[in-house]
Structure formats: structure tokens, C-alpha cells
Amino acid sequence: MRSPLDSPDGDWWSEKVNRRETIWLGISGGWAAVLFGWMAGWTQLGDQNPTGPTERVTPEDYREKVAAYKEEAEETDDGLVPPSEDVFVGAMRYGWDGLPAVLEAGESYKFHIGSYDVQHGFSVRKGDTLSKQMSLQVLPEYEWVVEMEFDDPGTYHVVCNEFCGVGHRTMHGAFTVRE
């Protein structure tokens, strides 16, 4: 028995392609184009991935935004109470600037997330619940605004889920949602 990796005998590349194969190649290529267009359209128009707006910002400017937010926020024993619906969180090796925070259950907040140095992951989950987890990517030079609402009171943990260096495992934060 011959190996399928061996070249076939003869001048096979010059043979004419069967008409049925050409038709099937055309149909499958057309269907691939339809699916690709559908996917792109659904992402833009179907509210499939409501990611929120992003804007380019230097890490220094974003750090200033977070500092201004921290100055305006009310500081309590449990964390910062945002002065408005905007919550600013800055990712840096190996911590979260702007956390811990104290939020109200049922209220809608706009989380502004950005990185001061390298790419990080912003993974939010309540307590020990792994099934209800949200994971976002935090990139340097971008401010990403994501609307979030938390109905269940309790402590929500924030961890970095993108390896960012030797201290990655210590990059934890939290916020408390209260009634």
C-alpha cells in the first residue's frame, strides 16, 4: 500500500477539474462568504457583542483620570464609593488602581478600564461562583467603557486572567455590592 503523502503518479496538476467539483467549490465559497458577512453584520447590528466605546489614551493621562476619580470618591472602610455612575479602574503590575469600590445593587455603572503598562485581563466573579464570570481584556493606551449592573449583593472578586509577569498571581481586587 502506498502512503497518501507520496506524490501521485503522472501529470495530475494539469488535468481539467470536473464540472461537478467546480460547482461544489463555487457553492461552498459562496456559502462561506454569506456566513462571513452574516457574522460581521450580526456583530455590528445584532447587538451580539455590546462591548462599549473605547478611546485611545496615554497611560499617563489615564492614570490622571483614575487619580481624579479617587479624589472625588468617598473613601469608606469597604472601599471607594463612586461620586457618579462612572467607576475608574486602572490595571498595573500587580494590582488594580481604583479598587476596592462600593456599589449599589440594581444600579447601572460605567466601568472605565485601562492599563498603565502591559495587557491585563479583567475577570469579575461573585464569591466562589465560577459559572457567572465575566472576562475582559485590558490593553495599554485604550480606555474601555463597559456598562455593568449587579443585582446580587455581596463581594465580587477581580483577578487578572492574562499573564502579566512574575507577580501575576497576586493581582487581585474586589468590590462590594450592597443593598
- Give the per-residue pLDDT at 50: 58
Q: How many Cα atoms sit within 13 Å of 142 on the Cβ side?
A: 13
Q: Using 50, 70 and 90 to split pLDDT, how confident is the model at 10?
A: confident
> Are residues 141 and 113 in contact, defined by beta-carbon separation less than 8 angstroms?
no
For the chain, which residues make up each domain, given as ranges?
Answer: 15-45, 54-178
Structure confidence by residue, pLDDT tens digits, 105-120 = 999 999 999 999 999 9
Domain spanning 54-178 has what CATH number? 2.60.40.420
What cell numbers appear for 126 in the block? 461573585
What cell numbers appear for 73 in the block? 470618591
Q: Which of 123, 73, 134 is nearest to 98 (CA)?
A: 73
Structure confidence by residue, pLDDT tens digits, 145-169 = 999 998 889 999 999 999 999 999 9
- Give the per-residue pLDDT at 130: 65
Which strands sit side by side in the sheet containing 172-178, from one edge to the other? 74-75, 80-81, 101-104, 172-178, 154-159, 120-126, 133-138
Give the mean model confidence (pLDDT) for residues 28-51. Answer: 82
